[in-house]
């Protein structure tokens, strides 16, 4: 055995290498371009329609909407701006609070800030790593009051603009409970499904439970367009508004340039959409491959005492990133050190957002479970194997 696999995790590292059949560097998540990507990119270049006008933008929107079972999809430049726009469309704006989980990628909180609202961080559910409906209910019940059909924070008087759960690593949050709470308390639900394309909660795709949902196609996601995002909704007026706002709010006209509000240049270029069309054609194979890898991880982790994160009964996770729980912070540090040293890429969870300097003034509910998870959970290499 070589020195790179020395240490208590050496045997596990060798088994991970076995799953990927290589002694080379194993990335956390590499894209796979195994379909018509080059063909469609070439066709797109030949058409000269490489920016936001062109057939692939519409085709990508249609194929994603069909796949997740949403009535409308609007392609945009990335997932962060998709979330920013979705929040604006449900009326989130300056001075409001938006409820989200503290354990998420920075972009979730950033998109809230961009609207002029402020994030309020709630704790994670240890079973899903996503927004805990118990924490959400406690906040809504104990810390808000109703006025004119809207919810306000009792302490600051700020309006509660939206709830944004995130399906961590592709594991569906308890979205049905969260949706019921949002309906009962009259707060719009916007799903950050950036990581969970292909994940279902009891047969229904994540991203389709809220007023709007968003996806990301960054290079590390289950499908990629290089950079890109999508807003989905069943509401035709919101879909129209999303398209309008993300195309500089220009009124359609043969020659006139008239912008009826302050809009954004957030539309996804046709080149990126061409990649998206080719990637969507492989979605079923990608999900199947990732779920098979997860089963194999379960196998190699048996008997190690390490807990492998699994989908909840009745749900289907896309297993975007596989995750395992270590006994404590010291074990986590040794695991990260030994695996990365051996060129098997692993990483910890995100630093809970309330600990980032620009979020330190944000209110939160203590985030006890989030911190507990942060000290113990790591992600394992999770690429689609070809």
Ligand X SMILES: Cc1ncc(COP(=O)(O)O)c(C=O)c1O
Please choose, out of 99-107, 127-135, 333-341, 369-377, the segment that lies near ligand X by the rule CB under 6 A: 99-107
Residue among 192, 311, 315, 365 that touches ligand X (CB under 6 A): 192
What's the CA gap between 296 and 275, in Å, rounded?
Answer: 29
Judged by CB, which is closer to ligand X: 206, or 218? 218
What's the CA gap between 177 and 136, in Å, rounded?
Answer: 10
**Applying CB under 6 A, does 88 fall inside the site for ligand X?**
no
Residue nearest to ligand X (CB): 79
Q: How far is the CB of 166 from ligand X (least distance, A)?
A: 5
DSSP structure string for 208-239: SSSSEEEEE--TTSSS--SS-EEEEES-HHHH
Residue among 88, 144, 199, 216 that touches ligand X (CB under 6 A): 216
Angstrom distances, CA of residue 190 to CA of 69, 185, 363: 16, 14, 20
Q: CA end-to-end span of the chain, whole Å?
A: 27
**Applying CB under 6 A, does 80 fall inside the site for ligand X?**
yes
Token look-up 């594991």 returns 171
Residue among 218, 247, 369, 383 that touches ligand X (CB under 6 A): 218
**Applying CB under 6 A, does 108 fall inside the site for ligand X?**
yes
163 SS3 class: strand
Q: How far is the CB of 173 from ligand X (least distance, A)?
A: 11
Please choose, out of 93-101, 140-148, 191-199, 356-364, the segment that lies near ligand X by the rule CB under 6 A: 191-199
Token look-up 């359609």 returns 252
Q: Is the dihedral of CA 74, 78, 79, 81 positive or negative?
A: negative
Judged by CB, which is closer to ligand X: 144, or 218? 218
Residue among 195, 311, 365, 375 that touches ligand X (CB under 6 A): 195
What are the residues whose beta carbons fall under 8 Å from the beta carbon of 238, sequence distance 6 or more? 72, 89, 211, 212
Q: How far is the CB of 343 from ligand X (least distance, A)?
A: 24
Please choose, out of 101-109, 246-254, 287-295, 364-372, the segment that lies near ligand X by the rule CB under 6 A: 101-109
Residue among 5, 52, 63, 78 that touches ligand X (CB under 6 A): 78
Tokens representing residue 238 in the block:
């919101």
Q: How far is the CB of 14 from ligand X (least distance, A)?
A: 30
**Under rule CB under 6 A, which residues in 221-240 are in contact with ligand X?**
229
Tell me the backbone φ, ψ of residue 213, rounded to 5 degrees: -135, 160
Residue (of 53, 113, 107) closest to 265 by Cα position: 53
Q: Please report, as ranges, the residues that interact with ligand X according to CB under 6 A.
A: 78-80, 104-105, 107-108, 166, 192, 194-195, 216, 218, 229
């Amino acid at each position: 055995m070589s020195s790179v696999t020395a240490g208590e995790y050496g045997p596990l590292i060798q088994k991970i290498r076995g799953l990927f059949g290589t002694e080379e560097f194993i990335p956390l998540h590499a894209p796979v371009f195994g379909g018509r990507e080059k063909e469609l990119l070439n066709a797109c270049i030949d058409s000269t329609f490489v920016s936001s006008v062109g057939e692939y933008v519409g085709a990508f929107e249609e194929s994603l909407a069909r796949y997740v079972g949403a009535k409308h999809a609007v392609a945009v430049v990335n997932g962060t701006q998709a979330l920013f726009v979705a929040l604006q469309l449900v009326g989130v704006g300056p001075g409001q609070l938006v409820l989200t989980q503290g354990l998420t990628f920075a972009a979730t909180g950033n998109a809230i800030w961009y609207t002029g609202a402020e994030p309020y961080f709630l704790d994670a559910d240890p079973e899903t790593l996503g927004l805990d409906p118990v924490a959400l209910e406690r906040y809504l019940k104990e810390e808000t009051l109703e006025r004119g059909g809207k919810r306000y924070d009792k302490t600051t008087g700020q309006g509660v603009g939206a709830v944004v759960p995130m399906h961590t690593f592709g594991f569906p949050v308890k979205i049905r409970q969260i949706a019921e709470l949002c309906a009962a308390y009259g707060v719009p639900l916007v799903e950050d499904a950036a990581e969970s394309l292909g994940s279902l909660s009891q047969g229904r795709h994540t991203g389709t439970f809220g007023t709007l949902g968003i996806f990301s196609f960054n290079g590390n996601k289950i499908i990629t367009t290089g950079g890109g995002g999508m807003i989905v909704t069943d509401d035709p007026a919101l879909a129209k508004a999303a398209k309008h706002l993300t195309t500089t709010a220009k009124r359609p006209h043969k020659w006139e340039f008239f912008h009826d509000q302050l809009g954004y240049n957030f539309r996804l270029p046709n080149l990126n959409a061409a990649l998206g069309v080719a990637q969507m054609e492989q979605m079923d194979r990608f999900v199947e491959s990732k779920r098979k890898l997860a089963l194999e991880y379960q196998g190699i982790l048996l008997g190690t005492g390490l807990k492998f994160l699994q989908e909840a009964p009745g749900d289907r996770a896309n297993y975007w990133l596989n995750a395992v729980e270590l006994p404590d912070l010291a074990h986590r540090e040794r695991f990260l050190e030994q695996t990365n040293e051996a060129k098997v890429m692993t990483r910890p969870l995100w630093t809970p957002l309330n600990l980032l300097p620009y979020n330190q003034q944000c209110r939160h509910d203590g985030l006890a479970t989030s911190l507990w998870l942060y000290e113990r959970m790591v992600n394992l290499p999770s690429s689609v194997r070809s």
